[in-house]
Amino acid sequence: MDNTTLKERLLAYCVGHQEAAIEQLQEAIDDAQKQANDYGAPKDRYDAFRTKMMRQRDMFAQQQAKANTVLNTLLKIPLDKTFDRVEFGAVVITNKQKLFVSAGIGKIELEGGLYFAISPVVPIYKALEGHSVGDEIVFNGTKIIIEEIF
């Protein structure tokens, strides 16, 4: 598999992951709203159940908004750009691990390879940012050598 295809598949996985999370959160929002509606009007001014359901709905809505922001960020990753330095949108192969600088999705097992989709705000990215192939970086006492960037 060539590097472009690999990056496309990594991105597709991340986008699918975010879309599934958004869908699950919408179901949770709908469920909380339904429970609150089915419960009816508050029984008295100290009736906490409906308030609890509304808070839960609002919490899920905030999480969904964040998930939508991450999805929109993922959709901005250029698939046709060639990278010569570690930056947002790059796949970085080191002697220790394979990273996809995109969003904090986590571990991705793809066609026998193990990749980590990381956010550009995590410490490992900050240590690697701007470096190119062949550079050596010491991160948390471990020497990391950048072997490939695409």
pTM of the model: 0.87
pLDDT tens figures, 97-123:
999 999 999 999 998 899 999 999 999
Q: Please check whether residues 38 and 65 belong to one and the same domain.
A: yes
pLDDT tens figures, 33-86:
999 888 877 666 666 888 888 899 999 999 999 999 999 999 999 998 999 999
Number of domains in the chain: 2
Residue 79 lies in a domain: no
pLDDT at 94 over 80: yes
Triad 53, 55, 61: Cα angle to 5°: 105
What is the phi/psi pair of residue 130, to 5°?
85, -10
In DSSP terms, 101 is beta-bridged to: 118
Q: Please check whether residues 35 and 65 belong to one and the same domain.
A: yes
Q: What pLDDT was estimated at residue 42?
A: 67
Q: Please check whether residues 32 and 63 belong to one and the same domain.
A: yes
Q: Please check whether residues 105 and 65 belong to one and the same domain.
A: no
Q: Please check whether residues 69 and 21 belong to one and the same domain.
A: yes
Range of the domain at 132: 91-149
Residue 36 lies in a domain: yes
Q: Please check whether residues 48 and 12 belong to one and the same domain.
A: yes
In the predicted model, what is the mean pLDDT of residues 24-38?
Answer: 93
Q: Please check whether residues 56 and 102 belong to one and the same domain.
A: no
How big, in percent rounded to 5, are the helix, strand and coil portions of the chain?
Answer: 45, 20, 35
Q: Please check whether residues 58 and 107 belong to one and the same domain.
A: no
Q: Please check whether residues 97 and 58 belong to one and the same domain.
A: no
Is residue 38 a contact partner of residue 49, using CB atoms and an 8 Å limit? no
Confidence of residue 4 (pLDDT cuts 50, 70, 90): confident
Residue 29 lies in a domain: yes
pLDDT at 2 over 80: no
pLDDT at 135 over 70: yes
Sheet order of strands, 91-94 included: 106-110, 113-118, 98-101, 91-94, 142-149, 136-139
Q: What pLDDT was estimated at residue 83?
A: 94
What is the phi/psi pair of residue 98, to 5°?
-115, 125
